[in-house]
Structure 1
Amino acid sequence: MTTAYSEAVCKHLRVGLAAFAVPPPVSLDVWASENFYLSAESSYVEQRWRPWPFQRAILSCMGNDAIREVDVEKSARVGYTKMLLAAIGYFAEHKRRNQGLWQPTDDDRDDFVKTELDSMLRDVPAMRRVFPEYLARHKDNTLLQKRFLGSVLHLKGGRSAKNYRRMSLDVALLDELSGFDNDVEKEGDPFTLAAKRVEGATFPKIICGSTPKLKGFCLINARVQLAEVVYRYHVDCPHCGGHHALTWGGKDEPHGFKWVDGDPETVKHLCPHCGALSTQGDYLAAEESGRWYGTDGSTVDHEGVFRDAAGVVIPPPAHVAFHVWTAYSPLVTWAQIVREFMAAYEATQQGDDSKLKAFTNTTRGEVWEGEIERTDAEELLNRAEPFSLRIVPRDCLLLLAGADTQDNRIEVAVWGFGRGGRMWTIEHRVFYGNPAEPQIWVELSAYLRETRFPHVAGPEMGIYATAIDSGGHNAQAVYEFARSHAALRVFAVRGRPAGEKHIKDGAGPVDIDWRGKRVKGGVILWHVGTNLAKDLLHGRLQVTRPGPGYVHLSNELPKSWFDQFTGEVRATRRTVTGTQTRWTAVRKRVETWDCAVYALWLEAHLELARKPAAWWDMLEAKVQPDQADLFAALRAGSDAPRAEVAGAAPPEARRAALPSPARATRQQPSLDQPLAPPAPPPARRAPRRVVQSTYLRRR
C-alpha cells in the first residue's frame, strides 16, 4: 500500500513538474530526424522522415538563434514544404516560440492547413505533448490559429494588410514568397510587414522560401540578393576530387548537364575542374560528404557549423540564403529533367515559351528573364568618348540638372542638350549630408547658383533648370527648396511608375493654406512618367552614330557610374488583366539613371523637341561662337584618371589648366544672359527669353 501510494505521488509530481522542465537543446536537423513523420495525405510514401544530406544544413540554420533571416530560393521537388513543417513543429514543441505563417492567399492558407499542417500535428507524436486539441473541434484548433502549450501559431493569407497586424511573434514564416503581391494594399512589401511582427523578440527569426518567378518582379530573388552570403551545395568529383555544385550549364558551357544525340538517358554532369563526366549514381554516392559553399568562400556543414575559407570556425551570418534545384533530389532522375527541357525547348521553337518558363522556375529554381530590355554597362563603357567632364563640348547648347534625394545625400547629374535630342554627360556631383538638415541645401543652392562650366567655344555656361525628386522621406524639404529657388527654375518632381500617359504627366499644387485653398504662386509638384522617360533614354542609347538622339558619355566617368546607369531592365509579364511592362531595378543603386530621367523630364517640360531651327540658331550664336575648340590641345594631352562619381571637383592637373580660357571669356555673353528672366526693378521692357516653358508662360 505504501509503495503504491508513493508511486502515485511520484507520478503526479512528474506530471505537475513537467511544465517546468527544460529539454536538452537539440538542433532542428536532429529534432526532425528523431520526430518528424511523412503523412499519407501529403507524401508518396507514409513513413518516418530522414532529411536528405543537402537539407540538413538548411534545417540547422532555420533553427539557429544566431541567424535572423534564412532565404531559400528553390525549385519544386526538393522537400522544402517538409522542412517548413518540421520547423513549425520544432519551434512549437522544443522552443515554445510564437509563430506566424503567411501563404500568398487565404485559399493557399486553407489548403496548406488541411493537407499539410493538420496531418503533421496528427502523425508526429511529439506534437501531442504541446497540442492536446489536435483531433478536437476547438477554438484553439482552427484554420486561422493553432494554440499550443506555451505558444501559438497564427495562419494568414498574405494579400490583406490587416493580416500583418496585432501579432507579437518570435518566428515569421513566408511560404511561396514570390506568389505574394509586391506591395500589399499600398502599405509595403510582405517581408517588411512580417518583419515588424518580430522586432521585439529576443531571438527574432524570419524564414522565406519560394520558387522564383519573373526577374525584376521576384520577391525571393530580391531577398537572396540582400543576403550576406548565398550558399550552394557542392559534391566531390569522383575523378579529380575537386568539389563543385550541380549546374544546368548549357550547350557551349564547360560544365553542367551533357547528353548525346538527343538521348536523355545518356545525361551526365561535366566537372568544371577536370572535364570528366559523372552519372547521377556517382552524385548519390558522394552526396553525404557534400557541403554548402558560400559566395564569400565560407562553408556550412550538415550540423550548421560555419567555417571560413581556411577552415576556421566562424560565427554564422545574420542573413543567409540557399539555392537548391531539382538535380539534387533523389526522387527525380536526371533523364527526366532533360526530357522536361527538350519538351519545353520544342514548344519554344513553335512560339510558346510558357513551358520553358516553367522549367526555368520550377526545375532549375531560377528567375525567368522573359522579354527584357536592358543596356549593358560594358558596352556603354567601351563606347565612351574622350571628352573631359566639366567642360561643355561643341554642339552642346543647354545644361539641365536632375537631382535624386537619398537619406544621407543628394546626387546631382548635369546633362548637356543640343539639337535633335543629343545629350552629353557634364558632371555627376554628390552632396553628403542629411536632407532633413539645412546645411546640405545651402551647399546645393550655392552649386546651382554659382557653378559655371567653360564651353569649348569660349563662353561659360550655368545650369539653366533643375528637377529634384521629392519622393522618399524629404518631400517637405524639397518643396521648400523649390519654392525658395523658383528664380533658378528648380522644379519638385515625383515619378509616376504606372499608368502614365506622357513624360510630363501632370502636376498639382502642394502649397495649401489653413483653409485648404491653394496658395497663389506656391509650389507645384510635377509628375514624371518614369517608364516613358526611361523608354526614351533607352531608345537613345541604342543610337550608335553621333547625331540626333545620340547620348555622349565621357570616358572619365568611373565604372560605378555605368553600373548604376544600366541598373534597371524593362521586363514584360503576363497578369490576369493583360500584359504589363515596367522598368525594374536589378541592383540596389541606380541614382545616375534616375537623375538622367529627371533631366529628360526637363527636356520635355521646356519643349526642346518643338523648338524651331531659328531658336537653336539664336542659342548657338550666344553659346557657341564660330571659333575653334579652345580645349582641344588640353584634351589631347590629358591622360587624367577617371573621376569618382562622388568626386566634387575635377583632378588638380585639369583644374589648374582650365582657368585660362575661362577667365579670358569672363566678359563674354554667358548662357544665362539670353535665357535668364529679366531683372525685377526696371521700368523699361524686359528682354525676350529664348527658352519659355508652358508653365513659365502661364505665370
Structure 2
Amino acid sequence: MSQWADEERYVAKGTSSEPGKWKTSRVEYMREIMDISTSGTISELILMGGSQWGKTEFILNLMAFFISEDPSPILFINPKKESAEEFSEERFTPMIKATPCLSKKIEPNKSRDSRNTITNKSFKNDAHVAFVGSNVPNDVASRSRRIIVGDEIDRWAVSAGKDGDVATLARQRIKNWWNSFIAWVSTPVDFETSIIFRHWLGSDQRHRYYTCPDCGHAHHLEWENVKWEGDDKHSSPETAYYQCPECPSKWNDVTRWKLDKTGEWKKHNPDSKIAGFHISQLYSPWVKLSTMVFEYLDSRGKPLMEKAFQNTVLGLPFEDKKGAGVEVEMLLNRREEIPKFTMPERSGLITMGVDVQGDRLEVKMVAWGLNDESWILDKYKIFGDPTGSAVWKDLEEVIKKRRYKHPLRETPFRIEATAIDSGHETQRVYKFAARMQIQGHNVYAIKGVPGSGRPIWLQSKKQIKLTKLFLVGVDDAKATIYGRLATENGQGQIHFSTRLEKDYFEELIAEKIILETDKNGFEVKRWYLPSGVRNEAFDLMVYAMAAKESRDIDIESRLRNMTKPKEKIDFGKLGKSLNG
C-alpha cells in the first residue's frame, strides 16, 4: 500500500497542514502498518494510538487502496452516524476529488440517484463504501462487506440491542468472504472498559524501536525518558529533550524525527496471528517535546486533563487510581491545625460555596494556593427559612464582614467570590446575587449541569432579568475533587482542619461513579448518591471550586508581592529593657 500511496495518493487542501502528494517517508513508522494491511497475510489489524500521528490518513490510504487496486465493498463504522457522515464529507470526499486515479472512478452524482450520497459512495469498478454509526445497529447488520474499518471503537455504542455488541455484529458481516479484512483503530479511553486495549493485548503487540546514535541501544520510546529543566514549581518545557535510558545521549526533536528513518517495529507477543501496533505522539513529526511537556505539566492534579494526556499524547488507556480507595479514616488522619479565621501562608484567595436547603443555608470557605492546593477554612450551617429574609441577611453579613488573617499581609483577606446553587428557592437566589453584585461583591447564582466534558464555569445563555446565571459542569468538577482527595502532598492537595468532624468526611465521599448504558447504547459514567445519604460537603466543594474559576487571579504573583507585616514596637517594653 505504501508504494501505491506514494505514486497515486494526494492529500486534499484544507484537510491537512501538508497538502499535496502523499509521502510515506514523512511518517516512516506508518510504512509497515500500511503494507501489512494489504499484504494478504493477516485478516485483522489492531491500531492503538494517540492523536496527531496520522491515523486518519492511514484510514484514507487503506480505503483508497482497496477502491483503486482491489475493488471491494467497504464498511466504515464511526461511533455515531453524524460523525460518520462528517468523515465522509470532510475527509473522504475531498481525498477522492484530490486523487486523480480515484476521482475518475467514482460514479457521477445524478439527481434521484441513491448510488452516491453522503453515506454511500459507489465507483465504476464496483467498489463501494458505506459510512455508518455504531449507534444505528440496523445499518451495521444489514450490510455484507469484505473490508471493515472500525474507527474510534472505544467510543462506540456498547450495545446493538438484541443483536449484542456492535463489534460482534460487524464481524458477522464478513463471514462470507474468504479474504476479508478488519482494521480496528482507536485512541484508548478507560483502562477498565477499553475495547481497543483489550484487542491490542490479544495481538502481537508491536512497538516502534529507535537505536541510540551514541551507544547503539535499541528501545521503544517511553514518557519516563522525556526530561526538562526545572522543578515542580518552576519548570521550563522549552528545554525538553529525550534521554537515552542507557547512556547520557540527549535527543532533541530533530534527532528524534531523524531516528524514525531507521526505526523498526518489534513484536512483544510474537505467537499471536493478529497484527497490533501501538503508537504515541512521541513518534509524531508534527508534535514537539516542549508541547507535550507543557500539556503534561498543565494536566497534573487535574484528573480529566491527566486522562486526556494519557489517551491522546501517550496513546494509552487511563486508569484513575487517585480517587480509588479514599476512605473516611484516611481523611480524618490527615487533619491538621488551621487556626480559626486565619489563612495558611501558601494561600492567596478565599472563595465560598453555598447550598440552599429547606431549613438552612450550608456554607463552606476554601483558601486556594499555587497549583490548586486548597485548605478548608470553615464549613457550617446558617439556620433559617430560605423563603424569608433573615437567613439571607446572615449570609450577607458573612460575605461583607468575615475576614481571615494572613501571615504575609497586614490587611486581612475577605471572601472574594461566592457561588450559590439556585436549584432550591431559585428566585431568592437570583435576587440575593443581584443585590450583592450591585454592592460590589462577586456573588453568583449557579446551576449544576451533569455530563462529562462540560466546563466548570460557563455563563448560561438563558435570559434572567435580575442577574446572570452560571453553569457548573459538576461531573468533571467532582472527578477532579475525588482525584485530589487521594493526593497527600503537593499539587492539588486538599488540607482539612481538625475542627471538621467525621460526618463531614462521610458527606465528602458519599457519591460514587457507576457505569450505565444510555438509551442509544453508549456506556456512560454517572455519579450515584445512595438514598438517604447526605453529600453537602461534596457539593459545597464543587461550588467553591466554581467560584475560584470565576476569578482570573494570579495567585503566584499575589503571593510574591506580599511581605510579612511589620512588627509593632512596644516602646514601653523597649524602655524597660534598656533601663534594665
Matching residue of 2:578? none
Report the Cα distance in structure 2 between the residues aligned to 1:334 and 1:136, rounded to whole angstroms. Answer: 51
- Which residue does the alignment assign to 1:541? none
Q: What amino acid is aligned across from residue 157 of structure 1 in structure 2?
A: G
Whether the 8 Å CA contact 2:514–2:525 is kept in 1: the answer is no
User: Does 1:155 pair with 2:131?
Assistant: yes
Aligned match for 1:194, one of 153, 161, 170? 170
Using the TM superposition, give the Cα deviation of residue 139 of structure 1 relative to its aligned residue in structure 2, in angstroms: 2.1
Match of 2:292 in 1: 337
1:211 aligns with 2:161: no
Report deviation, 1:214: 0.7
Q: Give the corresponding residue for 1:37.
A: 10
Aligned partner of 2:307 among 339, 357, 371: 357
In 2, Cα distance between equivalents of 1:230 and 1:571: 31
Equivalent of 1:579, from 527, 530, 535? Answer: 527
CA distance in 1, matches of 2:112, 2:79: 26
In 1: Cα distance, 2:299 partner to 2:290 partner: 14
Q: 1:72 to 1:577 in 2, by over 3 A?
A: closer
Is 1:41–1:116's contact at 8 Å kept on the other side of the alignment? no
SS at structure 1 position matched to 2:205:
strand
In structure 2, distance between residues paired with 1:131 and 1:145: 11
Paired positions, count? 330
Which of 255, 264, 268 is the equivalent residue of 1:291? 264
Is 1:119 matched up with 2:94?
A: yes
The match for 2:229 is: 260
Residue 14 of structure 2 aligns to a residue in which SS?
helix
Q: How does 1:52-67 map to 2 (within 5 A)?
A: 52-67=27-42
Q: Any conservation in 2 of the 1:371–1:571 contact (CA below 8 Å)?
A: no
Q: Which residue of structure 2 lines up, in the alignment, with residue 46 of structure 1?
A: 19
Structure 1: distance between partners of 2:162 and 2:29: 38
Write out aligned runs for 1:16-165 (5 A).
Answer: 28-51=1-24, 52-133=27-108, 138-148=113-123, 149-165=125-141
Q: Residue type of the partner of 2:17?
A: Y
Say yes or no: does 1:281 pair with 2:254. Answer: yes
Partner residue in 2 for 1:366: 316
Cross-structure match for 2:274: 319
What secondary structure is seen at the aligned counterpart in 2 of 1:100? strand
For residues 257 and 353 of structure 1, the distance between their equivalents in structure 2, rounded to whole angstroms, comes to: 21
Rounded Cα–Cα distance in structure 1 between residues aligned with 2:70 and 2:111? 24
Q: 1:356 Cα shift?
A: 1.1
Give the secondary-structure state (helix, strand or coil) at the position aligned to 2:527: strand
1:235 Cα deviation (Å)? 1.1
Match of 1:40, SS?
coil
- Equivalent pair of 1:73/1:211 in contact (CA under 8 Å): yes
> What is the identity, as a one-letter code, of the residue corresponding to 1:40?
K
* C-alpha distance in structure 1 between counterparts of 2:160 and 2:100, whole Å: 38
Instruction: Give the conservation status (yes or no) of the 8 Å contact 1:104–1:176.
Output: yes
Tell whether the 8 Å contact from 1:122 to 1:134 is kept in structure 2 after alignment. Answer: no
Q: How far is 1:572 from its partner?
A: 5.8
> What SS does the corresponding residue of 1:362 show, helix, strand or coil?
helix
Q: Percent identity over the alignment?
A: 22
Q: 1:576 to 1:190 in 2, by over 3 A?
A: closer
Question: Residues 54 and 135 from structure 1, CA distance in 2 versus in 1: closer, same or farther, beyond 3 angstroms?
Answer: farther
Q: Is residue 183 of structure 2 the alignment partner of residue 183 of structure 1?
A: no
Q: Which amino acid aligns with 1:84?
A: I
**What SS does structure 1 have at the residue aligned with 2:167?**
helix
TM-superposed deviation, 1:571: 7.9
Structure 1 residue 154: Cα displacement: 1.5
AA aligned to 2:255 is: D
Give the C-alpha shift of residue 31 in structure 1: 1.1
User: Could you tell me how far apart the structure 2 residues matched to 1:366 and 1:134 are?
Assistant: 42
CA contact (8 A) 1:68 1:204 kept: yes
- Secondary structure, aligned partner of 1:42: coil
Letter of the 2:526 partner, please give it.
G
Map 1:214-225; keep pairs closer than 5 Å: 214-225=190-201
Question: What letter corresponds to residue 258 of structure 1 in structure 2?
Answer: K
Cα distance change on mapping 1:292 and 1:134 into 2, 3 Å = farther
- What is the CA distance between 1:136 and its match in structure 2? 7.8
CA 1:31–1:276: 2 relative to 1, 3 Å: same
**1:158 shift after superposition:** 0.7
CA contact (8 A) 1:128 1:134 kept: no
The residue identity in structure 2 corresponding to 1:89 is A
**Post-superposition shift, 1:360?**
0.9
**Aligned partners of 2:122 and 2:128 also within 8 Å:** yes
C-alpha distance in 2 between matches for 1:240 and 1:119: 46
Residue 318 to residue 47, structure 1, CA distance change in 2 (3 Å):
same
1:573 Cα deviation from its structure 2 partner: 6.3
Shift, 1:132, TM fit:
3.5
- The CA deviation string for residues 136-174 of structure 1, in whole angstroms up to 9 with x for no partner, is 884221122111222221211111221222322111111
Contact 2:10 2:21 in 1 (8 A): yes
| CA shift digits 1:509-555 (9 cap, x unpaired) | xxxxxxxxxxxxxxxxxxxxxxxxxxxxxxxxxxxxxxxxxxxxxxx
Match for 1:329: what amino acid? S
What displacement does 1:318 show?
Answer: 3.4
Question: 1:326-373 deviations in whole A, cap 9, x for unaligned?
Answer: 11111111111000111111xx2xxx3211111111111110112589
Cα deviation digits, residues 556-596 of structure 1 (max 9, x gap): xxxxxxxxxxxxxx986697672379xxxxxxxxxxxxxxx
The structure number with the bigger radius of gyration is: 1
Q: Tell me the CA shift for residue 134 of structure 1.
A: 6.3
CA distance in 2, matches of 1:371, 1:108: 32
Q: Distance in 1 between matches of 2:193 and 2:528?
A: 11
Aligned mates of 1:580, 1:237 — CA distance in 2: 50
Tell me, in whole angstroms, the C-alpha distance in 2 between the residues paired with 1:268 and 1:103. Answer: 36
Which ranges of structure 1 fall in alignment gaps of 5 or more residues?
Answer: 1-27, 250-255, 299-316, 376-569, 582-699
The secondary structure found in structure 2 opposite 1:232 is: strand
TM-superposition CA deviations, 1:47-98 (whole Å, max 9, x none): 1111210111111122121211101111010111011011111111100111
Q: Is the partner of 1:206 in helix, strand or coil?
A: strand
